[in-house]
Structure 1
Amino acid sequence: MDAVSQRWRNLRVPPLLLDAVLAFVIMIINGISLSERQHGHVALTLSGTVLITAGAVFMMLRRPFPVIALALTSAVGITYTITQQAKSPIGLFMACAAYTVVMRTERRTRAVAIVSVMAVTVVAAAVYTNGELFANLMNGIVVLFGAAIGEATRYRRAYLRELEERAVRAEQSRDEEAHRRVTEERLRIAHELHDVIAHHIALINVQSGVAAHVLRTQPAEAERALALVRSGGRTVLQELTVLLGVLRRSGSPLPTAPAPSLHDLDALIKSFTAAGLKVEWNPPEALGPLPDVIELTAYRLIQESLTNVLKHAPGATAQVTITRRPGTLNLTVTDTGRGLTSAGAAVAHVGAGHGLVGMRERVAAVRGRLTTGPEPAGGFAVRATLPLETGVMSDDQGVAGGRPDADPERVPGAGELGAGPTGRR
C-alpha cells in the first residue's frame, strides 16, 4: 500500500490534461442535469450547449490567467442565467476559476474579484430571471464555495511550508550547535595538553640541560637532574593516558578528582623551585571562600606564567602575589628577566606559543581583565583581575580548562628534593 501511494505521489500529470478532464466532467454534469424536463420541456438547448462549452474552454485558462478565466466564466454563467432561464450547474466553471484566483493572486486582487463576481451574479439573478431567484443564485453560492476551498487550501499549504521551514531551521540549529560543541571540546583538549603537558616538558627540557652541563663536573647534581627528567616523563605519560582514556571512553562514567585550586600553589611552586627557578612567594593570610572556577583560573594563570619564566627568562627571579579585594581577586606574576632587555623579554614571552592566548581565553571566560607586557625596569609582568561574581555564575570548569581526572601538576619527587639549587640553567 505504501509503495502504491508513493508511486501515485510521484506521478506527474500535465496540468492542462487535468483541467481538460475536469472541464469535461463538469460538461457531463451540466448535460445530465439539463436533459431532464424542466417545466414540461427539455432545458438543454443549442445555445445553452454552446455556452456550456465556452465555459469549459474558458475554465482551462485558469492557471496562466486566473483573473481573466474568472471574468470569462462569470460572463458565460450570467449570460446563461439571463438567456436560458433554466437551473444549471454551470457555476461549477466559475467555482474552479475562483479557486485558482484565490490560490494564485494577492489578497486585495482576489477579494475584489470574488466580490465583483458575486455582486454581478446577484444583480443578474434578481433583475433578469422570472421567479426562482434562489435557484439562480446557486451560481454565486458555488463561487463562494470554490473561493472558500481555495482559501482553506492556501492556508494549509502556508502552514505546511512553515512547518518545513521550521524543521530546516531546527536541523541547521542542531548542526550549528554540534559544530560549536565540537569546537569547544577541541579547544578544551588543546588547553589541557598545553596547561598540563607543556609544563612538564619545559621542566624536562631545563633539567636535561642542567644534567648535560654538570655531567662531568658534578655527577651527583646530574643524577639529581636526570631523576627529575625521569619523573617528569613518567608524569607526562600518565597525563596522556588519562586524556586518551577520556577520549576513547567519552560515553562511559570515569572517576574524577578535584580540579587544582589555590590550595595547591605551594606544591606547584616547589616543583618550579626544584627545577631551578627562584620564586618569591608569600601565601596570603586568608582569601576566604572563592568560586571554584576562579581558583582554577588563577592556578592556571600562575602555572603558565611561571612556565614561561622558566623557559624564556633564564636566571630570572619570579614573584607571585595574590590579593583579594571587594568583588575581585587580583594576581600578579613578575620576573626580573636578567640577561634580556624589555623588548627582548616581550618577544620571548609573545613567542611562547599558545600560552598567552590561552591565558587571555581563560580570563575572558570569567569576564576578567588580563594585562601582559615588559616592565619599565626590566623583566615581564602578568596581571589579572578576576571578578568573583562572574565566577559564581560561570562555574563550568570546562570553560576555564578544568580537567576530568587527576592533575599531577608537580614534578614527582619535588617534596623530597626541597628547594634545590636556585638560579641554575
Structure 2
Amino acid sequence: MRAASASPPGTTEVPEVQGGFKVGRGASAPPFLVMDVIAAANARAAAIPPGQPGILRMEVGQPGTGAPRGAAEAAARALRDGHPMGYTEAFGLPSLRARIAARYAGHYGAAVPMERIAVTVGASGAFPLAFLAAFDAGDRVAMAAPYYPPYANILTALGMVPLLLPCDASTRFQPTVAMLEALDPRPAGLIVASPCNPAGTMLAPEELRNIACWCHANGVRLISDEIYHGLSYGTEEATAAALSPSAIVVNSFSKYFSMTGWRVGWTVLPEDLVRPVERLAQNMFISAPHVAQVAAEAAFDCIEELEANRATYRRSRDLLLAGLPEAGFDRIAAADGAFYIWADVGHLTNDSPDFCRRMLDEAGIAATPGVDFDPERGTRFLRFSYCGPEADMAEAPARLRRWLRG
C-alpha cells in the first residue's frame, strides 16, 4: 500500500528568522485543534443569557468526573500532615510502581517487574521519552490514520517522520499486519492505540498479538498506547507488555482513573530501554509531581467508584449509538472503548470544521472536526465525546435532529 511519508499534512513551516532570531523547526508543529474548539465553546457558553439552554460539551476527551475521592483525600492528608513533597526518583515512588505492577498481574495476568515501570508526567511526558530513546532523527514511525495528533506532532518536533497508514471502517480504523508487510522499507517503529482516539475501536487480543509478534520479528519498535484501558464495553483488553519483550507500553491516570489535571502516567519499558529512558527522564523532567503520585497510588483503592464512572460512560454511549442514527449520523465506527464516537458526515458536509462551527453556533453542541485527526480525509468526519454529563448526552440526539431538519 502507499503511505504518506512526509510531515503531517497541515504543518506550517516557521521561518528560520523572526525579528532577527532563529526559530527552531520544532516550533512548526501544527496546533491541536480540539483546544481551539474548547476555547470557542467556552466563549459561546459565556455569551448565553441566563435561563437559555447551555452548550453540550462533546468536544473534549476529559472525564466529567474528578479524581476519585480516596485519591483526593490521600493527597490532602499528605499535605496536611506535612509530608515533604520533594523530588522522587526519576522513575517515581517505588510504592506506586509496585501498585502499577500489581495491576498488570491482576488485570491482565501479566508479570511486569516494577523495575521496568517508569512513572511519567502524564502519558504526554512518556511519548517524548519513548521516541527519543527508541528512534533517531529521520526515522520513520508508522501509525494508523486517523490518529491522536500529538503522536505525529511530537515526532515531527523531534526530527522524526510520521508514516501515516490510511485506515477505514474495513479495518475498524486500526492497522493490520498486511499493511505493515506492504511497507518498503520497514519503518523504525509503529504506534498502536486500543481503544483508540478518535475512533474508539479496539484490536482484538489476537490481532494485537499478531502485530506485536510481527514488529518484534522485523525489528520494528512497537509503542502501544493503552491510556483508555479500563474503558471498554465488551471487547477484551490485552496489553503489549505481555506479548512482546521489545514493546513500549504507555498508560495514564487521566482517563479510567479520571485524573487528567494531576499529570501522572506511566510507561512499561523493555529491558534495553530502561536505563536510557531513566537518563532522559532525569534530565528532562526530574520526576512526576510528588503529590500526584501519592494520589495516583490511592486511586487503586477506588475501583468501585471508577467502575461506576465507566457504567455512566457506557450508558451515554448506548444512548448515542441509538439516537445518533435517528438524527442523521448513521455512519459511525464501532465504539468498543474510550469515550468517543467517530462519525462519517460525508453525506452532510465536505467541510467538517465549518460543520462543527455551525453546530456550535446553531445547535449549541461542541464537537471536534475530523481534520484534527486525519488532515487528508478528516473533512468528512467528526468526533463526538461522551464523557460529559449523562443528561447532556441524552439530550444531544434530539438537538441534532432538530438542527438538521430545520
**Richer in strand (by share):** 2
If the length of structure 2 is used for normalisation, what is the TM-score?
0.19
- Which gives a bigger RCO, structure 1 or 2 (Cα 8 Å, sep 6+)? 2
If the length of structure 1 is used for normalisation, what is the TM-score?
0.19
**Richer in helix (by share):** 1
The structure having more radius of gyration, on CA atoms, is 1
